[in-house]
Amino acid sequence: MIEETFSMGDLIKEAARRSARYIDDLKERSVAPPTEAVERLTGFDLPLPEEPIAPIKVLQELDDLGSAATVASAGPRYFGFVTGGSLPAALAANYLAGAWDQNAVFHVASPTTAFLEEVCRRWLVALFGLPPEAGVGFVTGATMANFSALAAARHALLGRLGWDVETHGLFGAPPITVIVGAEVHVSVLKALSLLGLGRERVVRVAVDGQGRMRPEAIPALSEPAIICIQAGNVNTGAFDPAGEICAIAQTSNSWVHVDGAFGLWAAACPDRVHLAAGIPAAHSWATDAHKWLNVPYDSGIVFVRDPQHLQASMSSRAAYLIAGDTREPSHYTPELSRRARGVEIWAALRSLGRFGLADLIERNCRYARRFAAGLQDAGYDVLNEVVLNQVLVSFGSSERTRQVVARIQEDGTCWCGGTEWQGHAAMRISVSSWATTEDDIERSLQAIIRLALG
Ligand SMILES: Cc1ncc(COP(=O)(O)O)c(C=O)c1O
């Protein structure tokens, strides 16, 4: 039996108190966790306990051992991967939604969360300039958004040829040609592999120096074919030329899917929307909310022009699964039971509004340009055109660059990751957090330059 003496209210307050302290500390603590803190994680490694303990003690253990060994990726100087923080309203909504513990499967299981998803659907298609009737699913991240969109594509293309892929699978089905750029994100390949379309049977199209697909290199296509394009290369931030590619696709009735894990958000920002030109002409789109919308992990979004294709590939029917007349969240996602991700997305959009979101995106892009200028002034090579929030920098030879990246990570002022770009080691800087200020950029720039000189 769990002790009856604890107060739920006191427990929640204690969780909030510890969380607030953690968030305050984020501004000054080392971004990478200290080695000793990571070593202390062995304190968790107990034999499976026999007896219950008080929830407050569980919380205390988790905070005492766990918090110090986290990466301060929710803080203002984390520039690794493409990582948003948690907007205040989104984090607070996450706490409340945790207390609600809703299953966002059906309207009948959670009217509030089903309703909020529909509101978010409407807001998001308007923000991105996508068809107002598009089907939208709230999934774990861009990987699953890519998966869900490509499942809808598979359904639509094979359905046109009289093949019901959900019923009969792919054995004996007409083969689908899949086109990707040479710089395709690995998550698209993973999605293709999960769908039985294969990672390696894709046709890879040559790209330019920024990683953009060359439309003239796309081979002649016949039905059925899918062209996977990218809005925001994970290294350079570059966009495939969507308008030209969609026009090519139209001549062969091919499906165009856009992986816009972070780049799609450019469409919500008047100063960046030119990058997304042509994107609304595609058939499906994938993005992340846990990147540039700055909601807590995990949160991705899939959009499909014709909602029926997404529904047909995602719905499951059983007598006890009673669907109503309103939009049913689980008809658009691979999962049946799921947490209510729409709540945080709603809170983020409600708190920022169009202008606040555009300002967040533009501010991050301005900071990326400041990083690029500062590093160039210090004599280092910036390898990409900084069109968005991504900066790729070389500190000389590949070996030297890797050494500098390791030093920056160890120093802890900020955190940047390494990558390979067109045969050379490079450091990636991704500015994606609402919490980052001009002062954080200057502090990080100074630290990077100091460590690169040393
Ligand atoms: C272009 C692109 N696509 C897909 C993904 C995968 O996103 P997630 O890890 O949220 O599934 C990423 C992640 O950085 C990305 O940059």
What local confidence, expressed as pLDDT, does residue 59 receive? Answer: 98
Pairing of strands 284-288, 300-304: antiparallel
Segment-wise mean pLDDT, segments of 10 residues, the chain, 454 residues: 74 97 97 98 98 97 98 98 98 98 96 98 98 98 98 98 96 98 98 98 98 98 97 98 98 98 98 98 98 98 98 83 82 97 98 98 98 98 98 98 98 98 96 98 98 94
Residue 232 near ligand 1, beta carbon < 6 Å: yes
User: Residue 419: which residues within 8 A CB-CB, separation 6 or more?
Assistant: 235, 392, 425, 426, 427, 428
Q: How much distance in Å is there from the Cα of 102 to the middle of ligand 1? A: 27
Crossing angle, helix 111-128 and helix 341-377, to 10 degrees?
40
Residue 361 near ligand 1, beta carbon < 6 Å: no
Angle ∠(130,230,353) on CA atoms, nearest 5:
40
Q: Are 387 and 263 in contact (CB under 8 A)?
A: no
Round to whole Å and give the CA distance between 62 and 67.
7
Q: How much distance in Å is there from the Cα of 143 to the middle of ligand 1? A: 6
Nearest residue (CA) to ligand 1, atom 15: 261
Please name the amino acid found at residue 249.
A
CA-based nearest residue to 339, from 295, 401, 399: 295
What local confidence, expressed as pLDDT, does residue 6 receive? Answer: 76
Q: Are 245 and 256 in contact (CB under 8 A)?
A: yes
Residue 102 near ligand 1, beta carbon < 6 Å: no
What local confidence, expressed as pLDDT, does residue 3 receive? Answer: 53
Nearest residue (CA) to ligand 1, atom 10: 141
Q: In a mutational test of the pocket of ligand 1, which residue from 139, 180, 184, 187 has the highest number of ligand atoms less than 8 Å from its CB?
A: 187
Query: Which residue in the block uniquely carries the two structure tokens 């929830």?
Result: 55
Cβ of 99: how many Cβ atoms within 10 Å?
9
Residue 145 near ligand 1, beta carbon < 6 Å: no
DSSP one-letter string for 308-375: HHHHHHH----TTS---SS--GGGGSS-SS---HHHHHHHHHHHHHHHHHHHHHHHHHHHHHHHHHHH
Q: How much distance in Å is there from the Cα of 142 to the middle of ligand 1? A: 5
Residue 142 near ligand 1, beta carbon < 6 Å: yes
